[in-house]
Amino acid sequence: MADKTAIVTGSARGIGAAIAKRLASDGLAVAVLDLDEAACADTVAAITDAGGKAIAVGADVSDEDSAAAAVAKVADQLGAPTVLVNNAGIIRDNMLFKMSVDDWNSVMAVHLRGAFLMSRACQKHMVDAGWGRIVNLSSTSALGNRGQANYSAAKAGMQGFTKTLAIELGKFGVTANAIAPGFIETDMTAATAARMGVDFDDFKKAAASQIPVNRVGEPADIAHTASFFVSEGAGFVSGQVIYVAGGPKD
């Protein structure tokens, strides 16, 4: 994979940072992309200190011009991006009767519009190369989750988007797959606990008690799965959704 370049969106921290570091250890050059370019510094430093190659890229994935400019910058500085991980995401949780139109639109814009714009901008490089990998981050919330009508709809949409990309791009040597994490210990889940007024350790223990493997997930669990999807060996795996949740999901 040493001649391949990857873009990982939302990779300044959390799951995205873990994926970026893992792909760099697999030999890819990695564009660490986030809304705030300065926030990418720690992830880039971790990669370069370990002997990998990475650059920081600031971009709003929900903005057409910003997404296109980011992909062009990566192509110019690292090489044509033939691996894309659409991880960027936000939450604006609320019950339906209290959810604002802005809460709905913001979540849809980052998750779905962002994945669309980044995939559209990268696919030409993949088609030209006759090889590509797109990995989209869904969630177990795609199956429905109280207080997350916007997020659940967006994550379910990511699965339909993934399957359609697999159908359209397969003949060009491009695969598209999705990862649907369960409870992963990140700043986002910590913020959820804080918003609920629950101690984070207690929050994790309660979650773990409902998970068959009896623990919550870590960003590295998702990074391992992304590494597989991106690998040469996964070339016959496309249009799939893997629930990385410590147990079966319907």
Catalytic one among 116, 151, 161, 183? Answer: 151
Strand partners, 184: 217
**CA–CA dist 244, 248 (Å, integer):** 9
User: Running DSSP on this structure, what letter comes out for residue 149?
Assistant: H
**CA–CA dist 141, 149 (Å, integer):** 9
Q: Which two tokens stand for residue 137?
A: 């981050």
pLDDT-based confidence at 250, cuts 50/70/90? confident
Going across the sheet that includes 5-9, the strands are 54-58, 29-34, 5-9, 81-86, 132-137, 174-181, 241-244
Contacts of 206 (CB under 8 A, 6+ apart): none
pLDDT-based confidence at 183, cuts 50/70/90? very high
Bridge pairing between strands 174-181 and 132-137: parallel
pLDDT-based confidence at 207, cuts 50/70/90? very high
pLDDT of residue 202: 96
pLDDT of residue 188: 87
Q: Nearest CA to 62 among 111, 29, 130?
A: 111
pLDDT of residue 93: 94
pLDDT of residue 2: 81
For 114-140, how does the pLDDT look when each residue is reduced to its tens digit (9 = 90+)?
999 999 999 999 999 999 999 999 999
pLDDT of residue 1: 79
Measured CA distances, 196 to 4, 94, 139, 152, 202 (Å): 42, 11, 20, 19, 12
Q: CB-hemisphere CA count at 13 Å for 93?
A: 14
Taking the complete model, does pTM exceed 0.85, yes or no?
yes
For 38-70, how does the pLDDT look when each residue is reduced to its tens digit (9 = 90+)?
999 999 999 999 999 999 999 999 999 999 999
pLDDT-based confidence at 192, cuts 50/70/90? confident
**Average confidence score pLDDT of the chain:** 97
Alpha helices in 10-97 (DSSP H): 14-25, 41-49, 64-77
**CA–CA dist 192, 170 (Å, integer):** 38
Determine the 3-state secondary structure of 133 from DSSP. strand
Measured CA distances, 230 to 7, 96, 225 (Å): 12, 37, 9
CB atoms within 10 A of CB 71: 26
pLDDT of residue 191: 87
**CA–CA dist 59, 234 (Å, integer):** 29
151 is catalytic: yes
**Would you say 193 and 152 are in contact if contact means Cβ atoms under 8 Å apart?**
no
